Copies of this chain bind each other. A is one copy, B any other.
Amino acid sequence: MAKVPYKTYLTETEIPKQWYNVRADMKEQHDPFLHPGTGEALHAQDLYPIFCEELAKQEMDTTNHYIDIPEPVLDYYRTFRPSPLIRAYNLEKALDTPAKIYFKFEGNNTSGSHKLNAAAAMAYYAKAQGLTSLTTETGAGQWGTALSMACSFFGLDLAVYMVKVSYDQKPFRKAVMETFGATIVPSPSDTTEVGRAILAANPGTGGSLGCAISEAIEVSMRDDNCRYALGSVLNQVLLHQSIIGLESKAAMEKLNEYPDVIVGCAGGGSNLGGLMAPFMQDKLLGKADPRIVAVEPASCPSLTRGKYAYDFCDTGKITPLAKMYTLGSGFMPSPNHAGGLRYHGMSPTLSKLYHDGYMEAISVEQSTVFEAATLFANKEQILPAPESAHAIYGAIQEALKCKESGEEKTILFGLTGTGYFDLKAYAQFNEGTMSDYVPTDEDLERGFSSLPKMD
């Protein structure tokens, strides 16, 4: 058989040695981050108290096209990368489509997702700066697990503020993180001022991601050997995640393929931003014009129904203001929604590219996503994370359009991770008890009312 194999792996020496910084090729940059108190545009050094210096510089870097991946990070990448580019032959057959469907599978590592790509960089830079510890927050636990692994590998302590309701419901996530040596604190906690204040006001609260972020930042700021790390939304995260797209492009070149359409799920933008990076470069430079499609949950539709406005990155309103597509930091996604993708905003860089017409976006309801996930699992024999299944849904729609038109398009989507920790949602879907939720216009207005008033 001369056919393309199921899985295409680069060799370990072929792993890209530089990340790609898409902002260096953008004609216009996103509006600057603003200080939440003064409203002044922030510079890299303003972020040094929160992030490692190197990461703060990366956050603001709009000029360097490529940034060398430090050798220790590359060496760590070699323990779980390259990830395979997989041809979805069995899904194609089930859909009876002439389209060629490829997916980049980031789930074959113990964190279960692409989050480890950025965690590796953040832990390394912290260690290189001489720090001894990091803090972060986690909701579902995917990011906390990834950072626990990276901190274990590079020899850093880690405190994870885990939303209390998740902490109580997901003891297994806690067990993984503890196996990698992290300290898990249910949030809100009595270890911080903000936590104590919230507990005093709401004694029985289950916590929120916003509160956990606030606690993690507070703890990091009171120890000069400690910084805070965040796994999505940020420009530095998109930079580190560009390894996904760079590997995908290199593997497709080996197969003489180039995607006509690139599909990714979009919550804060970490996976899609990484997957599309080198293809977006081709678009920005006029070398190629693939379509790029973001798929977001109908329950939290920041791109498709949000406003392009300055907003806080957290619900606690202590972070800098970012210009992005947002539902308002006060927007509360339905608790019925499974998995991630429940962030109120969207990466400022992705938001700008979307606003400038370089990307499309669609939204989809939860049970439809799980239908796509179940079809995919049965055909491709991989159980996808609910987040990833949004991209699967988008890819299937594109493949069905090809069936209609007879076009043999090449589709590339990002399979961000596995669903082993999301089986409660699968059980609900199997039992027919999964509920869909789409916010009403009034729900959205309530969220928008939390947007900061800008002069």
Give A contacts to B, CB under 8 Å: 1, 5-7, 9, 11-13, 78-80, 90, 108-110, 112, 149, 152-153, 171-172, 174-176, 178-181, 374, 377-378, 380-383, 418, 420-421, 423-424, 426-427, 430
Kindly report which residue of chain B lies nearest to residue A172, judged by CB atoms: B423
Our pick among B79, B80, B426 for the contact of A179 (Cβ within 8 Å) is B426
Q: How far is the CB of A147 from chain B (nearest CB, A)?
A: 13
Given contacts A5-B78, A172-B423, A179-B378, 12 further A-B contacts (CB under 8 A): A5-B12, A6-B12, A6-B79, A7-B12, A90-B153, A108-B108, A110-B377, A171-B424, A171-B427, A174-B427, A178-B426, A180-B377
Our pick among B176, B381, B418, B423 for the contact of A80 (Cβ within 8 Å) is B381
Which of chain B's residues have a CB closer than 8 A to the CB of A424? 171-172, 175
Of the listed residues A1, A7, A175, A380, the one surrounded by the most CB atoms of chain B closer than 10 A to its CB is: A175
Q: How far is the CB of A294 from chain B (nearest CB, A)?
A: 26
Question: Could you tell me if A110 and B382 are in contact, using CB atoms closer than 8 angstroms?
Answer: yes
Label chain A's interface by main secondary structure: helix
Cα A310 to Cα B153 with chains together (Å) = 49
Which of chain B's residues have a CB closer than 8 A to the CB of A174? 427
Question: Could you tell me if A378 and B110 are in contact, using CB atoms closer than 8 angstroms?
Answer: no
How many copies of this chain are found per oligomer?
2
Our pick among B90, B149, B171, B178 for the contact of A381 (Cβ within 8 Å) is B149
Question: Could you tell me if B79 and A427 are in contact, using CB atoms closer than 8 angstroms?
Answer: no
Which of chain B's residues have a CB closer than 8 A to the CB of A382? 109-110
Cα A374 to Cα B9 with chains together (Å) = 29
Of the listed residues A171, A176, A179, A421, the one surrounded by the most CB atoms of chain B closer than 10 A to its CB is: A179
Question: Could you tell me if A427 and B172 are in contact, using CB atoms closer than 8 angstroms?
Answer: yes
Our pick among B79, B179, B378, B426 for the contact of A380 (Cβ within 8 Å) is B79
Our pick among B79, B108, B380 for the contact of A90 (Cβ within 8 Å) is B79
Which of chain B's residues have a CB closer than 8 A to the CB of A178? 426-427, 430
Which of chain B's residues have a CB closer than 8 A to the CB of A149? 381
- Which 10 pairs between the two chains have the least Cβ-Cβ distance? A172-B423, A175-B427, A175-B423, A5-B12, A420-B420, A110-B383, A175-B426, A178-B430, A152-B378, A108-B108
